[in-house]
Amino acid sequence: MSRDHHHHHDDHADASLPVEYSGGYVQQPGSVLRKSAGWVSFGIVFNVLNTIVFGTLVPKILEDITSNHDTIFANMTFITTIISAITLPFIGSILDQLNLVKTCLLFSEYAGILFTFAILSLKIMPSSVQVSMFQVFYIFGMFFLRVGVMNNNAILAYFPADRRVSLSLLSNFTGFSVNFAGLLALTFLPPDYLNPIQWVGIFSFIVLIVSPLTFWQPNLLAPPPSIYPAPAPSGRSENSGELERERLVNEERSPRSSPPFRTVLYLSFMRIVNTLKLVPSDSQHRAAFLFLFAYLFFCAASATFTVFLSTFFLKIYSLSFQEEAALNLYFKISMLCGILIGFLYERVTKGRVSDYLTLSFHNVLFIAGNLGLYLVIYFGQSRDLAYMSSFLIGGTYGWNVSISRGMMSKLIPKGKSSEFMALYSTFTYVGIALVSFIYRELISNGINANVLPLMLAACVLPSYIFLILVYREQKSRQEQQQ
């Protein structure tokens, strides 16, 4: 379908015809503005719960109920990321088959809100079970929110390709702005005004009010029969790799030919296996996987920094509750500034600068920020200089996560949005789990906590190799198409 046809449906609904997007699905008609608002609204829900509740309030609640709060927080993060990494690809594959992306998003969103509300019950629990139940609430709440993020990212692929990066930037900017307001309240209201558990109730209620907007997200009809290109007759293929690619694509095009006793779960497993088999022979699958590995190393570093932001500075500087809230507020400001710079950058360059070059520049800034933070702490310089380094890290992360998500949505093979966005999430969580595990082992064996930024700077370096490979793969594919 041409770009002109996309623009023809940009700002109004067509009452008679559905709209086909590059994700390979036929979308129900409706206002693009309304659908965009529905997509952006989930960013508000997730950012408030992920950053304010689970990132700022949870460490403080743990500190109040147990002396071993830093190790418990690391363990909860590790368990949640491992569970997410293992299950999300299968969940995504199932959703692609059953066309339940939006349904699963809404279910996981409200399940995450429910477990967040459950934290309020700690006030009436005996102290002997508080820590155990708190870990249960955290693990289940974060897991369902991550399932929701996977679905929300998958739906991004259903919007026109030229809008995805801007929509991703807008979503992050809106979510971070709401976070900013919340962290502002935590920072400047008197510390005895409300305790952390009461704040959890307030922010949970806020996202409950916002959550109905997510029902405006695009709702999709069944995939059209032509999602996957019909393979050429076998006589036209001259090598076994091309034959294998055609066979696998044809197998995915004909799910009804599978024996009836196969369960959806088994079919999901086979879809993932076929996806992996297509990587050596199909350039689009190969480019997507190369980008996943490039993103793995940067996101493992940047996301781990955000996860351990509060606990790291609590360990180094023994922050009070208000100081911790101020730190998260400051970091959120840096991310907002990064997104604003990203908006201006997109407006000025208008796509003329390669996304690969932009991502490489992000990596340079991230490495510089982490090395600066390490040196400031190592030489015992002021906390203000440490905050300045964190500002550079946060700005880079806020900009990069929007660009990366938009770029990934452009590389996804047709009809596999949930599956590949699940892999996108899985690579993120595997990276976080590995780096969190290494960091936890280091500090438990007596290594100083200030080693974290040095670890993260080194973690970014391999991403350059994969960025070069995916760039060469895409360039070769474009030349072949010409």
**In the predicted structure, residue 19 carries a pLDDT above the cut 70:** no
Distance CA 150, CA 100 (A): 13
Question: For 445, how many CA atoms within 13 A lie in the half-sphere containing its CB?
Answer: 7
The rounded distance, in Å, linking the Cα atoms of 475 and 461 is 23
Question: How does pLDDT run across 44-96, given as a tens digit for each residue?
Answer: 999 889 878 887 788 888 888 877 777 788 788 778 878 888 888 888 888 87
Read off the pLDDT of residues 411-429 as tens digits, 9 standing for 90 and up.
Answer: 888 778 778 888 888 888 7
Cα(405)–Cα(181) distance, rounded to whole angstroms? Answer: 25
Q: How confident is the model at residue 193 (pLDDT cuts 50, 70, 90)?
A: confident
pLDDT digits (tens, 9 = 90+) for 429-452: 788 778 878 887 887 787 887 888
Which residues 6+ apart lie within 8 Å of 185 measured at CB? Answer: none
Tokens of 142: 């974060």
Residue 5 pLDDT level (bands cut at 50, 70, 90): very low
Q: Which residue has the higher pLDDT, 128 or 211?
A: 211
* DSSP conformation letters of 354-403: -HHHHHHHHHHHHHHHHHHHHHHHHTT--HHHHHHHHHHHHHHHHHHHHH
CA dihedral 70, 399, 340, 48 (to 10 degrees): -40
Which of these, 466, 435, 467, 433, lies nearest to 453 by C-alpha position?
Answer: 435
Q: What is the mean pLDDT of the chain?
A: 78
Q: Residue 366 burial (CB < 10 Å; 0-12/13-18/19+)? A: buried
Taking a C-beta distance cutoff of 8 angstroms, is the pair 428, 299 a contact? Answer: yes
Name the pTM for this structure.
Answer: 0.69
